[in-house]
Structure 1
Amino acid sequence: MAGRPGRKDEILATFIRHVAERGYDQTNLGDIAAELQMSKGTIVHHFGTKAQILRDLEESYMNRRRGEVDLLWEKLTSPADRVAAIIYATALYQVTDRDATIATQREVIQLADDPEMRKIRGLRAQIQQLVSDEIAAGVESGVFRRIDPDVATMLVFGAGQWMWTWFRPGAPNTPQSVGATMVDIVLGGLLADRYGLAELADPDGRVAGFVRDVLEATPQ
């Protein structure tokens, strides 16, 4: 049987939920301390500042995402599969790692100029570059139409960035169906030949199923 989470883990989890619900500026360490029935000094002992908790949130979140992308890239080899996988993953994060995803997406510009966030920004940039490289490879091989890979990449990540503002678990649209629709739109525009698009955009298909398996195997 798993033991009770440590105080530091409880603080971080509560902070993440508060940022997801209220935003960073409205998240108060005093409220977190009261909810957890501890002193504010205990939070300061573990993290120092509110900004440091946000750094820890961002670092752990981006490390999870980079690890998942590495697994996806190991098993999926074609540009179309890999781009579809990123889109499905982006939609599924709204359920599998919801609070951290919302907190990260709504506060992506917080601490933007903080030197200590450089490594975290680098992880985000690495993932975006991997997708841009795949789109470029697809263009070069003739699988994708001749489009600007960087613009297409920003379209993929930009669409995912704002899902927190409108997607609600339990709504008629599941993350799988939303991901399938996004794959249909994005890959439908990228592919030079749309043969095979239906399989890529199948929420119960091979790529979508593999993404679910990878996310379920990753501790959130």
Structure 2
Amino acid sequence: MKTVDRAARRRMSSTERRQQIVTRAAGLFDQSGYSNTTMDDIARDVGVAKPTLYHYFPSKDDILHAIHGEFIDLLIERHEARTETGLRPEQLLLEVMADILELMETHRGHVRVFFEHHRELPPEARGPIKEKRDRYERIVEDLIAAGIESGVFRAADAHLAALATFGMCNWAYQWYRPGGRLRSRELAYQFWNYLVYGLGTDQLTLPTPRATPPA
């Protein structure tokens, strides 16, 4: 088996090798934490010599940057692929939520790294990643604003609603485990339902906001 593995590794292109390193490293960061994982650990897990690993990624920070970039690019690319399908804003919002939650199953390590280790990014990488993060946040905010404009959502603060959407989805990986009662897409439907319809019934009486006392 090891001979077969070595032969398969030798046939890998540079792009495939880089992808393998990123994927394996994301898994290690998820299991052991970013700070506790060394380049030696990554080289051992991938099955390459340490100098070979450094050929593809000069440092662990560069791998971290690649994981962040791959994750946010996946989210943006999935959304952009749907923009010409004719889906309504509320349907696109559901798919956005499903994207984030489904990646908990397919890219769990990427999810943890993206949400927990952005502060460890090298300074030169923070700007480009932040731009992509901000772009994706605007995508979701614009979807909600479009829903408000079309009348399917009630008048609300679109920016705050977008933050609430991310708040529901982004940290679900902390407790979600594949094979549980709900699959990730089913969870997306539940979250979308809470966001769009809320928990209240017709019998619910909203509390009257208390006036803020003058300073």
Q: TM-score, with normalisation over the residues of structure 1?
A: 0.76
Within the candidate set 123, 133, 136, 1:124 is matched to 133
**Which letter maps to 2:159?**
D
Cα distance change on mapping 1:13 and 1:96 into 2, 3 Å = closer
1:177 aligns with 2:186: yes
- How many Å separate the matches in 1 of 2:92 and 2:18? 36
Alignment match, 1:157: 166
1:152 is displaced (CA, Å) by 0.6
Within the candidate set 48, 61, 71, 1:51 is matched to 61
**Which letter maps to 2:140?**
V
Cα distance change on mapping 1:97 and 1:76 into 2, 3 Å = farther
Cα distance change on mapping 1:83 and 1:57 into 2, 3 Å = same
Q: TM-score, with normalisation over the residues of structure 2?
A: 0.78
**Which letter maps to 2:101?**
A
Within the candidate set 143, 147, 152, 2:152 is matched to 143
Contact 2:75–2:100 (Cα < 8 Å) also in 1: no
**Which letter maps to 1:60?**
E
Q: Number of matched residues?
A: 186
For residues 21-60 of structure 1, the aligned pairs below 5 Å read 21-60=31-70
Could you say which structure has the larger radius of gyration?
A: 2
Cα distance change on mapping 1:37 and 1:134 into 2, 3 Å = closer
Contact 1:76–1:82 (Cα < 8 Å) also in 2: no
Alignment match, 1:15: 25
Higher RCO, 1 vs 2 (CA within 8 Å, ≥6 residues apart): 1
1:86 is displaced (CA, Å) by 0.9
- How many Å separate the matches in 2 of 1:36 and 1:138? 46
RMSD in angstroms over aligned alpha carbons?
Answer: 2.0
Alignment match, 1:214: none
